[in-house]
């Protein structure tokens, strides 16, 4: 391959560099917006709004897209984040209490809580990207996140493994921890969101009515009820656009 073609602005090499630069900018904005803690939910939603567009090659300005979603989804994302944070704290506290449990009943309870934790992580992976992509109430967004996680279970497991492997490598020892921490701050969160968004974009596409795909290329969508209810009847819900919780 000629050296000149490698340094062509339209070459694959420069496209990769451009994507990495965009992810670094997105990651730094995300980390900065997470510092108040209570804004982690809106920041996660905004980050996935951008990475979902990257996944289907529709990205525009990273900073503008991030803060557009951050403002539009702030209220619902904040409510969902508070709910998920409280549930996570309760589950973690229960596990700590039952950590040294020896009785049969207590061990069964511990297994049940661990299984609930798995479901919790499944919802966490889907709920903020779902809010970024679809226009629904808080209740419907959380319900749809759960059902989509179950219906696309193989991809869900793969996304969980990607996150778990990244965390495991970071915490493997003190050497990997400090280098891993630097990578997380510079690129890590956005990079994992982008990788998972490649899967999520394919999953979400099944629930977007074709007529909306043609009419609303840069807007949020309402979920196609029949796409879910055809596979799981109990998943159907009243999902009208621009609903309030």
This prediction's pTM: 0.82
In this model, does residue 235 exceed pLDDT 80?
A: no
Instruction: Spell out the domain ranges in the chain.
Output: 3-235
pLDDT at 148: 95
**199's tokens:** 């899967």
232: pLDDT confidence band, cut at 50, 70 and 90? Answer: very low
Per-residue pLDDT at 230: 39
Alpha-carbon dihedral 67, 64, 160, 125, rounded to 10 degrees:
40
pLDDT at 163 over 60: yes
Cβ atoms of residues 126 and 132 within 8 Å: no
Least confident of 47-56, 146-155, 217-226: 217-226
Lowest mean pLDDT across 25-29, 95-99, 200-204: 95-99
Q: How confident is the model at residue 119 (pLDDT cuts 50, 70, 90)?
A: very high
Going by pLDDT thresholds of 50, 70 and 90, the confidence category of residue 104 is confident
* pLDDT over 70 (residue 62): yes
Q: What is the pLDDT of residue 154?
A: 94
Tokens of 219: 């807007």
- The answer, yes or no, to whether residue 218 has pLDDT greater than 80, is no
User: Cα dihedral angle (204, 142, 132, 210), rounded to 10 degrees?
Assistant: 30
| pLDDT for 10 beyond 80 | no
């Amino acid at each position: 391959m000629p050296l000149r073609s490698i340094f062509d602005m339209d070459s694959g090499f420069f496209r990769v560099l451009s994507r990495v630069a965009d992810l670094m900018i997105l990651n730094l904005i995300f980390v900065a917006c997470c510092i108040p803690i209570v804004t982690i939910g809106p920041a996660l939603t905004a980050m996935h709004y951008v990475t979902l567009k990257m996944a289907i090659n529709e990205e525009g300005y990273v900073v503008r897209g991030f803060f557009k979603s951050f403002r539009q989804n702030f209220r619902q994302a904040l409510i969902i984040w508070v709910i998920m944070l409280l549930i996570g704290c309760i589950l973690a506290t229960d596990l700590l209490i039952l950590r040294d449990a020896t009785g049969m009943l207590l061990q069964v309870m511990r297994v049940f809580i661990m299984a609930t934790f798995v479901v919790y992580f499944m919802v966490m992976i889907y709920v903020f990207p779902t809010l970024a992509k679809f226009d629904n109430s808080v209740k419907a967004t959380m319900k749809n996140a759960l059902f989509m996680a179950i219906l696309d279970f193989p991809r869900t497991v793969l996304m969980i493994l990607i996150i778990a492997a990244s965390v495991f490598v970071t915490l493997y020892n003190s050497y990997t921890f400090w280098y891993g921490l630097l990578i997380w701050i510079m690129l890590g969160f956005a990079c994992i969101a982008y990788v998972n968004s490649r899967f999520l974009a394919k999953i979400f596409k099944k629930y977007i009515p074709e007529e909306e795909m043609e009419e609303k290329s840069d807007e949020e969508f309402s979920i196609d009820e029949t796409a879910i209810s055809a596979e799981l009847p109990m998943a159907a819900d009243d999902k009208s656009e621009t609903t309030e919780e």
